[in-house]
Amino acid sequence: MLLKHFFIEKIAHSSYLLAGSRSCAIIDPRRDIDIYIEAADAHGVEITHILETHLHADFISGHMDLAAQTGAKIYVPKSGKCAFDHVAVSDGDTFEIDDILIKVLETPGHTPEHLSYVVIDRTRGDEPAGVFCGDTMFVGDVGRPDLFPDMATELAGKLYDSLHDKLLKLPDFCEVWPCHGAGSLCGRAMGAKWRSTIGYERRYNSALQIIEKVDFIESLTTDMPPAPDHFSLCSDINRQGPARIGDLPSLSRMSPAGFRKAMADDDVIVLDVRSYEGFGSHHIPGAWHIDYNGNFPTFAGWTLPPDKKILLVASTVEEAHNANVWARRVGVDRIFGHLEKSMFGWATSGFKTTSVRQISAEDLHNYACGSEEIVLLDVRSPIEFADNHIGGAINIPTPELRTRFDELDPSKKTILICSTGHRSSLGTSILKMHGFEDLLNVAGGMKGYSAAGHTRVCRVCANPHGSRYYENYVPVQDKKDQPE
């Protein structure tokens, strides 16, 4: 038996190739599938099975393209009621890949239709070698049950049952192969390792130390990170069957004049993916800004209008291409062009630009933040803000600025800060769309502010101190689930 692991950063997605002597399965594939075909060719095996543990909410799966290119069958949860050609499987079903036996377990909780696939390598023995558990169990954590808000309590209870009545019944030596690692928003505090064992998780997974079901439900439905807007969209796309990559619009290079003409369409928005320093220096008026160097795919899926076509401004052709690949991974399929020669071409064509001033941590410290004339806006998550913040700051997370901008006064100087400067720069672009002009972005964010030796104030006790520990989660600087 051969197991190969694939991992992509930013969305912290794990997928796998499981091979016997002649055939292999791809488990929870990403959308751009060439890497799997190349790996199968390198190992001399044929892709015959595509296994989906559930209808993924945070990324678009590559099952449709992979099946079309290889002829492999797609195995999905029967209760998922998928609209494409598939093999529907449910609890107790089995199938073979050469000398490997796959047993299906229904493990709902993270989603209603969730499955796990138990792997038995019969060349070695008759007991489970490992389990592809999707988003039911992670290294150090378990899946979040709140992606369907009206079902959160019900799904948390089902998750408890799936863990204790299904997965934890497997032998302690059985390996755990989850769909995500540290950095994903599908859980709260995942570890950085890509695999573990049932025995290790039984002993050290903090969620599995909560013995009583009622306490587990309360813990798993309290203080979860916000679920991005595109999670429900991705889940539905995966159920219906994503569009083939080859059927999507190609990314064309557009002259400044052609770019400007395309912008006149009300159904078109401009997305600037350059660094926040570059965006701050000069950008096209009305452009969204999501720094490619930050958690670009999460915030592209989370904040961009889902019904608009998109024009890109990138630093290089390569950056434009990479941004398009990442956008497609989260269901943003509407990018159709990028600006030739980037902002240099735009500016030398004589077209209008605007800017956002970038300030340092020392500059921020010298401002009279919290006064009536200046607003310090912290756009991090409530958990990060509660952990520590600058005295006098108000907290509105970046995605919420799309609807809560009217809580702020556009006539006042507003300084935006996040962890490093990426999210706050996105926040400045959102506020500029709503008439805010006197905006400053803190380069380096709270990390720079702390590194400069300035103290932070805790919202809980109103005293300056470092990071605060809470019973239910680790401090922010150790957490991997807060996208930047």
DSSP labels, 76-94: EEGGG--SSS-EEE-TT-E
Question: What is the rounded distance in angstroms from the CA atom of residue 47 to the CA atom of residue 40?
Answer: 7
Per the model's pLDDT, the better-predicted residue between 37 and 392 turns out to be 37
Instruction: Give the pLDDT band (50/70/90) at residue 295.
Output: very high
Residue 218's alpha-carbon distances to 155, 208, 212, 233, in angstroms, are 12, 14, 10, 27
- Alpha-helical segments (H) within 333-456: 342-348, 361-366, 382-387, 401-404, 422-433, 445-451
DSSP class of residue 228?
P
Residue 299's alpha-carbon distances to 70, 119, 228, 484, in angstroms, are 32, 35, 8, 9
- For the segment 129-154, the average pLDDT, to the nearest whole number, is 95
Question: What is the rounded distance in angstroms from the CA atom of residue 322 to the CA atom of residue 330?
Answer: 13
Residue 41's alpha-carbon distances to 15, 46, 52, 82, in angstroms, are 17, 7, 22, 29
Question: What is the rounded distance in angstroms from the CA atom of residue 364 to the CA atom of residue 26?
Answer: 50
The predicted-structure confidence for 19-30, as pLDDT tens digits, reads as follows 999 999 999 999
Q: Which of 273, 226, 219 is CA-nearest to residue 58?
A: 226
Residue 154 burial (10 A CB sphere; 0-12, 13-18, 19+): middle
Q: What is the pLDDT of residue 369?
A: 61
Q: What is the pLDDT of residue 372?
A: 72
Q: How many other CB atoms are there within 10 angstroms of residue 36's CB atom?
A: 26
The full set of domains in the chain, from first to last, is: 2-236 (3.60.15.10), 248-348 (3.40.250.10), 357-478 (3.40.250.10)
Query: Residue 475: pLDDT above 80?
Result: no
Q: What is the pLDDT of residue 18?
A: 99
Q: What is the pLDDT of residue 373?
A: 83
Torsion sign across C-alpha atoms 446, 449, 453, 459: negative
The predicted-structure confidence for 57-92, as pLDDT tens digits, reads as follows 999 999 999 999 999 999 999 999 999 999 999 999
Q: Which of 31, 83, 79 is CA-nearest to residue 59?
A: 31
Contact 212, 160 (CB under 8 A): no
Query: Residue 460: pLDDT above 60?
Result: no
- For the segment 452-477, the average pLDDT, to the nearest whole number, is 48
**Can you list the positions of beta strands (E) in 64-186?**
73-77, 87-89, 94-97, 100-106, 115-121, 130-134, 137-138, 141-142, 175-178
Question: What is the rounded distance in angstroms from the CA atom of residue 115 to the CA atom of residue 181?
Answer: 18
pTM of the predicted protein model: 0.90
Q: What is the strand order of the sheet 115-121 is part of? A: 94-97, 100-106, 115-121, 130-134, 175-178, 196-197
- For the segment 246-266, the average pLDDT, to the nearest whole number, is 96
The predicted-structure confidence for 172-212, as pLDDT tens digits, reads as follows 999 999 999 988 888 777 888 999 999 999 999 999 999 99
Q: What is the pLDDT of residue 468?
A: 34
Mean of all residue pLDDT scores within the chain: 93
DSSP string of 323-362? HHHHHHHTT---EEEEETTHHHHHHHTT---B--EEE-HH
Three-class DSSP category at 197: strand
Three-class DSSP category at 261: helix
Question: What is the rounded distance in angstroms from the CA atom of residue 193 to the CA atom of residue 398?
Answer: 29
Radius of gyration (C-alpha) of the chain in whole angstroms: 24
The predicted-structure confidence for 351-371, as pLDDT tens digits, reads as follows 999 999 999 988 898 876 656
Question: What is the rounded distance in angstroms from the CA atom of residue 227 to the CA atom of residue 147?
Answer: 7
Residue 169's alpha-carbon distances to 156, 161, 194, 342, in angstroms, are 19, 11, 21, 56
Q: What is the pLDDT of residue 148?
A: 87
Q: What is the pLDDT of residue 484?
A: 61
Contact 376, 391 (CB under 8 A): no
Query: Residue 477: pLDDT above 70?
Result: no
Amino acid (1-letter code) at residue 244: R
Question: What is the rounded distance in angstroms from the CA atom of residue 181 to the CA atom of residue 18?
Answer: 19
